[in-house]
């Protein structure tokens, strides 16, 4: 299944894509950024892109090689703010996120718009657990970045633990919580694998677990993370700290070599689920530009029990 953000989100639009780039509007500002998956031609002309864009990202040498993103620079074409806010209004009643954006040296801006369907799913699952009698479902968000998924869980009434190995993005996430009118999220700056293993030793269980691991990375103490080497072990640990019933899992993967079927098989094997067992779904998260070109950006696996 392929899922897209809902049409109610007026603060975001993928305008055009092609030739290894995407042109997006975030609120008042338009940004042109590299996108290796945009293998087709652009529909709009290059002068039109330059006319619309407030800024373009120029990658450093070796960008995208060997699974690594080198830092680059933004070329300003029109005046714009260094930081600004957009609102995600949500399809579900009660889901409203105010997210701060900013230009980083790695082309990211603080939000991955294609993740909106996952935010809706998380909000719905927490709401389901509350309706089933869990007053404050415990949700753990690993590799949590600037926290939109954490906020979706919190907005539905979860007791949320937000973990990332980079202190600056945890601070960014805290600001997003405050701008969205929420409080009470637990913030953890830690290596995800170490934290999950400690929770297993402590006997702690969660009603929902969200993972969005990078292809590679480092923990706060220099711990190395390489997705191919660590993913299955991580999922086996996660399987041991997810409540055996009335719970949910969201796994998101960006690695170019991974398919939805591969992700689903990893989860099934880690959780000991038979191929015919129900409650698990997988698919792609995608954006669609003004001209109908679909840009698939990540795969998801969701488990409900």
20 and 139, same domain (yes or no): no
Instruction: Give the relative orientation of helices 167-179 and 148-155 as an angle to the nearest 10 degrees.
Output: 40
Least confident of 62-76, 166-180, 263-277: 62-76
Estimate to the nearest angstrom the gap between the alpha carbon of 86 and the chain centroid. Answer: 16
Do 77 and 185 belong together in one domain? no
How many domains is the chain built from? 2
**Residue 61: predicted pLDDT:** 65
DSSP bridge partners of 287: 295
What does the pLDDT read at residue 68?
53
pLDDT tens, 138-165?
Answer: 999 999 999 999 999 999 999 999 999 9
Do 131 and 276 reside in the same domain of the chain? Answer: yes
Reported confidence tier of residue 65, pLDDT bands at 50, 70, 90: very low
pLDDT digits (tens, 9 = 90+) for 83-137: 999 999 999 999 999 999 999 998 999 999 999 999 999 999 999 999 999 999 9
Indicate whether 267 belongs to any domain. Answer: yes
Residue 63 has pLDDT above 60, yes or no: no
SS (H, E, C) the chain: CEECCCCCCCCEEEEEEECCEEEEEECCEEEEEECCCCCCCCCCCHHHHHHHCCEEEECCCCCCHHHCCCCCEEEECCCCCCEEEEEECCCCCCCCEEEEEECCCCCCCCCCHHHHHHHHHHHHHHHHHHHCCCCCCEEEEECCCCCHHHHHHHHCCCEEEEEECCHHHHHHHHHHHHHCCCCCCEEEECCHHHHHHHHHHHCCCECEEEECCCCEEECCCCCEEEHHHHHHHHHHHHHHHECCCCCEEEEEECCCCCCHHHHHHHHHHHHCCCCCCCCEEEEEEEEECCCCCEEEEEEEEEEEC
pLDDT at 60: 81
The string over 90-129, giving b where at least 16 C-beta atoms fall within 10 Å of a residue's C-beta and e elsewhere, is: bbbeebebbbbbebbeebbbbbbbbbbbbbbbbbbbbbeb
Looking at residue 122, which CATH number applies to its domain?
A: 3.40.50.150
Query: For residues 64 and 54, is the Cβ–Cβ distance under 8 A?
Result: no
Q: How far is the C-alpha of 175 from the C-alpha of 11, rounded, in Å?
A: 19
262-282 residue pLDDT tens: 999 999 999 999 988 899 999
Residue where a domain stops, chosen among 87, 121, 136: 87
Is the same domain home to 83 and 171?
A: no
Both 267 and 151 in one domain: the answer is yes
Domain-located, residue 97? no
- pLDDT, residue 67, reads 45
Based on the fold, state whether residues 160 and 300 are members of the same structural domain.
yes
Say yes or no: 116 and 246 in one domain: yes
pLDDT (0 to 100) of residue 66: 43
With a pLDDT cut of 70, the percent of the chain lying above it is 96
Residue 69 pLDDT exceeds 90? no
Residue 107 within any structural domain of the chain: no
The answer to whether residues 74 and 143 belong to one domain is: no
pLDDT-based confidence at residue 62 (cuts at 50, 70, 90): low
Radius of gyration of the chain (CA): 19
Q: Angle of helix 260-271 relative to helix 227-241, nearest 10 degrees?
A: 50
Residue 213 above 50 pLDDT?
yes
Same domain, 184 and 285: yes
Angle between the N-to-C axes of helices 192-202 and 227-241, in degrees from 0 to 180, rounded to the nearest 10: 20
Residue 101 lies in a domain: no
Question: Do 122 and 209 reside in the same domain of the chain?
Answer: yes
Say whether both 62 and 185 belong to one domain.
Answer: no
Residue finishing a domain among 38, 54, 87: 87
| Structural domain range at position 173 | 112-304
Question: Does residue 96 fall inside a structural domain?
Answer: no
Query: Tokens for 38?
Result: 């945009």
pLDDT at 79: 97
Mean pLDDT of 13-41: 97
- Same domain for 262 and 135? yes
Say how far apart CA 258 and CA 247 lie, in whole Å.
25
């Amino acid at each position: 299944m392929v899922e897209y953000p809902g049409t109610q989100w007026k603060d975001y639009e993928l305008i055009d894509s092609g030739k290894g780039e995407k042109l997006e509007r975030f609120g008042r500002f338009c940004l042109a950024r590299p996108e290796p998956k945009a293998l087709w031609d652009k529909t709009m002309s290059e002068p039109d892109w330059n006319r619309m864009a407030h800024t373009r990202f120029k990658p450093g040498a070796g960008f995208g090689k060997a699974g690594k993103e080198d830092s680059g620079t933004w070329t300003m074409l029109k005046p714009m703010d260094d930081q600004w806010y957009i609102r995600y209004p949500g399809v579900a009643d009660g889901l409203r996120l105010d997210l701060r954006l900013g230009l980083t040296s790695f082309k990211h801006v603080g939000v991955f718009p294609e993740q909106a369907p996952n935010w809706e799913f998380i909000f719905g699952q927490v709401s389901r657990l509350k309706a089933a009698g869990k007053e404050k479902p415990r949700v753990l968000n690993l590799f949590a970045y600037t926290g939109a998924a954490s906020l979706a869980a919190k907005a539905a009434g979860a007791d949320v633990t937000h973990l990332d190995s980079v202190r600056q993005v945890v601070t960014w996430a805290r600001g997003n919580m405050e701008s969205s009118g929420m409080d009470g999220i637990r913030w953890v700056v830690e290596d995800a694998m170490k934290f999950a293993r400690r929770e297993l030793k402590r006997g702690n269980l969660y009603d929902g677990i969200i993972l969005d691991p990078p292809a590679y990375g480092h923990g706060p103490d220099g711990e190395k993370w390489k997705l191919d080497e660590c993913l299955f072990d991580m999922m086996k640990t996660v399987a041991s700290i997810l409540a055996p019933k009335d719970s949910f899992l969201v796994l998101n993967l960006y690695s170019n070599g991974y398919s939805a079927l591969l992700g689903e098989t990893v989860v099934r094997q880690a959780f000991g689920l038979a191929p015919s067992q129900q409650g698990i779904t997988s698919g792609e998260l995608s954006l669609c530009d003004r001209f109908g070109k679909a840009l698939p950006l990540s795969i998801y696996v969701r488990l409900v029990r």
